[in-house]
């Protein structure tokens, strides 16, 4: 069964600090992986997509990495802001279908 | 574009009541999905549709029904509400074509349902 595991489950950091969220997957065949941000009370919104051939991609203060050999991805947030407080969800599509596999998410709280 | 809209935002039901959660998208997307999200848990797929007239079960379909008579609308029906259906429900859509990279899902704001 395809699985997406995220760690940590929750994280509390001070404003201005950096943090890294992890995602391990066993989805096969693999073609790409997305990170979504879900603010409290809202639906998830895509942050970035990582394809099989990409190692690193930045989107402002967010940097995603992908190691397809070890089946791991990370999302690094630099100089955190209060608005970064949210749940971050790793999603990997099942290569042969329209059904993505969702991780449980990492809940990030940024304190002033 | 309004994107994906859902109504209602909140609803309280009594056990055994029925209701329909509405979902509409204006992006001409073929694929639409219904998820439920319980506290501290990931999104679980209830039903999905790959086009008008075509629906299929997801991971947790029991107690729910769907229909897809138009491209825009994908309502979710709860026939006999149970406390286990207390959750936040999200509708999502995605485009077709463009290969696997065109798999971004666009989510609605959610419906918070409580069954007492």
User: In terms of C-beta density within 10 A (0-12 exposed, 13-18 middle, 19 or more buried), how is residue B91 classed?
Assistant: buried
What does the block give as tokens for A89?
A: 């969800």
Q: Which of B25, B42, B57 to mutate to test the interface with A (most CBs of A within 10 A)?
A: B42
Contact B100 A31 (CB under 8 A): yes
Chain B positions in Cβ-Cβ contact with residue A43 (cut-off 8 Å) = 4, 90, 92, 107-110
On whether the CB atoms of residues B70 and B40 are closer than 8 A, the answer is: no
Q: Are B25 and B93 in contact (CB under 8 A)?
A: yes
Burial label, A51 (beta-carbon count in 10 A; 0-12, 13-18, 19+): middle
Between residues A51 and A23, which one has the greater pLDDT? Answer: A23
Q: What are phi and psi of B46, to 5 degrees?
A: -95, -60
Residue A105: its chain B contacts at CB < 8 A?
42
Question: Which pLDDT score, from 0 to 100, does residue B100 have?
Answer: 60
Q: Contacts of residue A91 in chain B, CB cutoff 8 Å?
A: 105
**B15-62 pLDDT, tens digit each:** 999 999 999 999 999 999 999 999 888 899 999 999 999 999 999 999
Q: How far is CA A33 from CA A49, A105, B26, B99, in A?
A: 6, 14, 26, 14
Min CA distance, A30 vs chain B (Å)? 10
b/e code A87-101 from CB counts within 10 Å (16+ = b): bbbbbbbeeeebbbb
- Across the range A83-98, mean pLDDT stands at 87
Phi then psi for residue A65, to 5 deg, are: -125, 160
- From the list A14, A33, A13, A31, the residue with the least C-alpha distance to A23 is A33
Q: Kindly report the nearest CA distance between residue A31 and chain B, in angstroms.
A: 7
CA distance to partner chain A, nearest, from residue B44 (Å): 8
How far apart CA B102 and CA B97 sit, in angstroms, is: 7
Percent of chain B past pLDDT 70, that is, above it, reads 96
Judged by phi (left if over 0) then psi (alpha if -120 to 50, else beta), residue A99 lies in beta
Q: Which residues pair with A49 in a beta bridge?
A: A34
- pLDDT, one tens digit per residue, over A28-71 is 778 889 999 999 999 999 999 998 888 999 999 999 999 989 99
- The structure tokens listed for B115 are 């069954």
Element (H, E) at B20: strand B19-25
Total beta-carbon pairs less than 8 A apart between chain A and chain B: 51
Instruction: Report the residue of chain A nearest B34, measured CA to CA.
Output: A99
Chain A residues with CB inside 8 Å of B89's CB?
A: none
């Amino acid at each position: 069964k395809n699985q997406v595991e995220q760690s940590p489950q929750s994280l509390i950091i001070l404003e201005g600090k950096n943090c890294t969220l992890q995602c391990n997957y066993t989805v096969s065949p693999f073609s790409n992986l997305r990170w979504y941000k879900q603010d409290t009370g809202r639906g998830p919104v895509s942050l970035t997509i990582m394809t099989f051939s990409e190692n690193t991609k930045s989107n402002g203060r967010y940097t995603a990495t992908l190691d397809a050999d070890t089946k791991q991805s990370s999302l690094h947030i630099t100089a955190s802001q209060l608005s970064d407080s949210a749940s971050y969800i790793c999603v990997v599509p099942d290569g042969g279908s329209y059904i993505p596999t969702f991780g449980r998410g990492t809940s990030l709280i940024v304190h002033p | 574009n309004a994107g994906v809209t859902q109504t209602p935002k909140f609803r309280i039901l009594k056990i055994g009541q029925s209701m329909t959660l509405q979902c509409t998208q204006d992006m001409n997307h073929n694929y639409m999905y219904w998820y439920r999200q319980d506290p501290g848990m990931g999104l679980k797929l209830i039903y999905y549709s790959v086009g008008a007239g075509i629906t299929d079960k997801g991971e947790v379909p029991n107690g729910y029904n769907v229909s897809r008579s138009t491209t825009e609308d994908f309502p979710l029906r709860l026939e006999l509400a149970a406390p286990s259906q207390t959750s936040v429900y999200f509708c999502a859509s995605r485009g077709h074509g463009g290969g696997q990279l065109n798999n971004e899902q666009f989510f609605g704001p959610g419906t918070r349902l409580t069954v007492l």
